[in-house]
């Protein structure tokens, strides 16, 4: 079966490589805007599924293809924290997370001609207390600019995380244990 990852993320590519020996990567160009009154879990599930379906619909011979889409969001007090577009947005997000626990939701969707499975993994992340200067210094590393919630646990941003309860790989971008179990359903 031909497997396609509907993402150009190097992190997701690395993680999926731990589960399957060979696959292709294709980028799904979808609108990632939050819909009115959309809760965070529905949001990540919708995006993961839309990414997978967008790529699946382009496949010439879908009978022997499997597409995996995934999306991750950071949720603080029920609010979805997207990718920061400025230092001020980054400061606002990271100062709101400072010293508190928040959730990271990662959904994945596995699509074939026969069926679709979409699941969400929720991990609680405890942040250390951070200062505004630490946030400014972190912004200038370039790391937070394309990260949901303005940080990368697998990078420099990991220094802000004091503990997690749940899946580390889900926080990075692809929940390995859960995805591995789901992929076995397709064999």
Long-range contacts from 132-136, C-beta under 8 angstroms, 24+ separation: 132/91, 132/95, 134/160, 135/90, 135/91, 135/94, 135/95, 136/87, 136/91
CATH of the domain at 173: 3.90.950.10
What per-residue confidence (pLDDT) applies to 13? 97
Asked if pLDDT for residue 187 goes beyond 90, the answer is no
> pLDDT tier at 4 (50, 70, 90 boundaries)?
very high
Q: Which domain holds residue 80?
A: 2-185
pLDDT value for 60: 81
How does pLDDT run across 9-29, given as a tens digit for each residue?
A: 999 999 999 999 999 999 998
pLDDT tier at 61, thresholds 50, 70, 90: confident
Return left, alpha or beta for 149; rule: phi > 0 is left, psi -120 to 50 is alpha, else beta: left
Reduced to 3 states, what is the DSSP secondary structure of residue 76?
Answer: strand
Query: What is the band of 45 on the pLDDT scale with cuts at 50, 70, 90?
Result: very high
Q: Is 29 a catalytic residue?
A: no
- What confidence score (pLDDT) does residue 70 get? 97
Helices of type H across 33-157: 40-56, 87-97, 132-139
The tally of domains found in the chain comes to 1
Selected catalytic residue, list 29, 31, 39, 71 = 71
How far is Cα 32 from Cα 44, in angstroms, rounded to an integer?
Answer: 9
Using CA of residue 145, residue 150, residue 151, residue 152, what is the dihedral sign? negative
């Amino acid at each position: 079966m031909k497997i396609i990852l509907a993402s150009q993320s190097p992190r997701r590519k690395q993680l999926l490589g731990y589960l399957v020996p060979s696959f292709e990567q294709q980028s799904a160009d979808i609108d990632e805007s939050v819909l009115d009154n959309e809760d965070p879990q529905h949001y990540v599930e919708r995006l993961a599924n839309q990414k997978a379906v967008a790529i699946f619909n382009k496949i010439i011979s879908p009978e022997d293809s499997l597409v995996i889409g995934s999306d991750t969001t950071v949720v603080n007090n029920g609010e979805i924290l997207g990718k920061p577009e400025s230092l001020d947005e980054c400061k606002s997000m990271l100062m709101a997370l400072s010293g508190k626990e928040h959730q990271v939701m990662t959904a994945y969707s596995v699509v074939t001609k026969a069926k679709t499975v979409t699941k969400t993994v929720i991990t609680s992340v405890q942040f250390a207390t951070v200062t505004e200067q630490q946030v400014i210094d972190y912004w200038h590393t370039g790391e937070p600019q394309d990260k949901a919630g303005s940080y990368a646990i697998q990078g420099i941003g990991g220094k802000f995380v004091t503990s997690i309860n749940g899946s580390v790989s889900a926080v990075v971008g692809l929940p390995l244990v859960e995805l591995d179990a789901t992929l076995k359903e397709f064999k």
